[in-house]
Amino acid sequence: MTVGDRPVSAPGAGDRDDAPKSASFVLAEAAEAEALAAEAEARAAAARARAERLRRQAEAASSDRPDGRDTATPHADDTGPDAPAADTGPPRHRRLRHPGIKVTAVCAGLVLICASLAASGYMVWRDHAASQQKHRIAEYAAAARRDVAALMSLDFNKTKEDLQRIEDNSTGRFKSTFPAFADQLSKRLQQSKMVTTVTVNDVAVESMTDDSAIVLVAATTQATGPDGQLQPQPWHIALGLRRDGGQPKMSSIEFVQ
């Protein structure tokens, strides 16, 4: 009689001690086989669970990316001899997307708008500067006409008022030196009994800043004395103007031949 591959003798007097040993050995082998089967089944169940978890991660990652590529990374528990090897190859170059037609059109529109605003701002600034310059030219020209009229229109009957008007319309060096010859001018008017009127023929602003200017004035005086009118006298004057209290006034006078 055989049990497995081992022969078993018929029960007898000499085999009484060997029979129990053979039965225990068979039971041990059966128990070991059962344990190995249970361990193999447990490993298979763990492998199936791990594969299922990786599949769910791959599906979740694919649903999150528009191109559907699997970007799932191995879980911390998936390390070991059975875990998939990490990708250590060279990095993939990403393609730079060219801007679309709409984006290009929007950018071009913004550039055109900015350029238009800059051009408009420059034109406004230029017009404002030109307007200010015209205003200053007109202001200095009017001041030159007024000051030449005050300087050369004299009446011996109103000497004091005429000289005070000249002083009020002057500033700077001319005003500081005017009192030195004002008395002499008053005496000559009283002696000659002269009345002088002036006609301003033309003015031209030669140069100017915000606070000063040089104005060329062409004028003609007509003098009348006890013996009647004298011949008209032409004058060419380079009149220096400087602001005093915000108003342009005479600061220098030069008679030009």
Q: Which residues pair with 238 in a beta bridge?
A: 216, 254
Written as six digits, the tokens of 155 are 């009446």
Biggest alpha carbon–alpha carbon distance for the chain: 191
CATH architecture of structural domain 130-255: Roll (3.10)
Considering only CA atoms, give the Rg of the chain.
59
> Cα–Cα distance between 215 and 240 in angstroms, integer?
6
At 14-28, the pLDDT tens digits run 444 444 444 455 555
Mind giving me the DSSP string for 10-65? PP-STTTTHHHHHHHHHHHHHHHHHHHHHHHHHHHHHHHHHHHHHHHHHHHHHHHS
Tokens, residue 20? 């129990």
CB 233 within 8 A of CB 220: yes
Could you read off the pLDDT of 189-243 as tens digits, one per residue?
A: 888 898 999 999 999 999 999 899 999 999 999 999 888 888 899 999 999 999 9
Domain boundaries, the chain: 130-255
Percent of the chain with pLDDT over 70: 70
What is the rounded distance in angstroms from the CA atom of residue 31 to the CA atom of residue 35?
6
pTM (global) more than 0.75 = no
Mean pLDDT within 103-109 = 75
Residues in the chain, overall count: 257
7 or 217, which is more confident? 217
